Amino acid sequence: MKKTLLALLFGSSLVLAACGDNASDEASDANNPQDAAESAAGTEIEPEKIVNQKCSSCHGGDLSGGMGPALKNIGSQLSEDEILSVIQNGKGAMPKNIIEGDEAEAVAEWLAEKK
């Protein structure tokens, strides 16, 4: 029974970590009008920050891998378009669309430079 409960809790925490917490991001924008204005103004996308927020729980903070594969040298294995496809469609245990739109494109470009 303890093993089943532990497995359930662990699995749930992984799903929550992979999905991120967009609700708190929206709430912080509502509480800070300057942040909301900067977001609306289309400030520059920071791919490294996005990767740290959305990917490091599985791929490691230094991209050396963990539950997910290492991404340190992913640009030598996959093209930018292939990386974007994985982000959009998922692969293995990775769910699709963890990052979307311009952010996904910026992250794919940034990761493709990792060789």
Crossing angle (nearest 10°) for helices 33-40 and 22-31: 110
Q: Is 53 buried (19+), middle (13-18) or exposed (0-12) by CB count in 10 A?
A: middle
Token pair, residue 7, equals: 């497995």
CA distance 85 to 96: 9
Residue ranges, comma separated, of all CATH 1.10.760.10 domains in the chain are 46-115
Residue 25's pLDDT is what?
A: 46
46-115 domain in CATH 1.10.760.10?
A: yes
Residue 89's pLDDT is what?
A: 97
Residue 41's pLDDT is what?
A: 54
Model's pTM, two decimal places?
Answer: 0.64
Q: Indicate the average pLDDT of the chain.
A: 79
CA distance 7 to 67: 15
Residues 68, 93 contacting (CB under 8 angstroms): yes
